[in-house]
Structure 1
């Protein structure tokens, strides 16, 4: 996507802390970011916590991060709006960190 990026995430709500644990591979071969948040999966609290976590982890504006798919599932798609090249660089750095 030219004006941003999509990030697939496997989220663990009530995970004890807000943290991105790196990158994992699902049984179908897809690579996803592994994240956990303290928030409970009720009334969008875990999704909001995930958006904030991703924004902070990438040093990206909170208003440019949103869950666009998987609102009630553990597997989510997060949309990041902005410069795709810069986002790719930051996502790669985050993956190497975790």
Structure 2
């Protein structure tokens, strides 16, 4: 998977994951893949935390780390700290991470 329309992009040390975060949701959940206004595919994630003082970002990192079966320290927000649209970097084996995240998002084209 490569190109601007993908939700996941392989990196030398791991993967880049494009996320659309919804704070103050009724539950923490990883949803489906949606396209933003620019056509960029993003993984929809909902968290119950409020978007104040980075609380929603912390819950997002915890949720994705648990889902990808990797430590929280290997997940970091590369861009979009204060935006709903975020780019996350997840360190680890790119092939394994892409398979795990693709499985979560329902995508099979890894």
Identify the TM-score tier after normalising by the shorter chain.
over 0.9
The superposition leaves residues 31-72 of structure 1 with CA deviations (integer Å, 9 ceiling, x where unpaired) of 000001010001110100000011111222111111121000
Residue 69 in structure 1 maps to residue 79 in structure 2: yes
**Which residue number corresponds to residue 89 of structure 1?**
99
TM-score norm. by structure 2 comes to 0.83
TM-superposed deviation, 1:15: 0.8
> Partners in 2 of 1:30 and 1:38 — Cα distance?
25
Cα drift, residue 22 of structure 1: 1.5
Counterpart CA distance in 2 for 1:89 and 1:33 is 14
Provide the TM-score with structure 1 as the length reference.
Answer: 0.93
1:32 corresponds to 2:72? no
Q: How many residues align?
A: 97
Which protein has greater RCO, CA pairs closer than 8 Å, 6+ apart? 1
Matched position secondary structure for 1:11: strand
* Runs (4+) off by over 6 Å: none
The corresponding residue for 1:3 is 13
| Aligned counterparts of 2:50 and 2:36: Cα–Cα separation in 1 | 23
List alignment gaps of at least 5 residues for structure 1. none
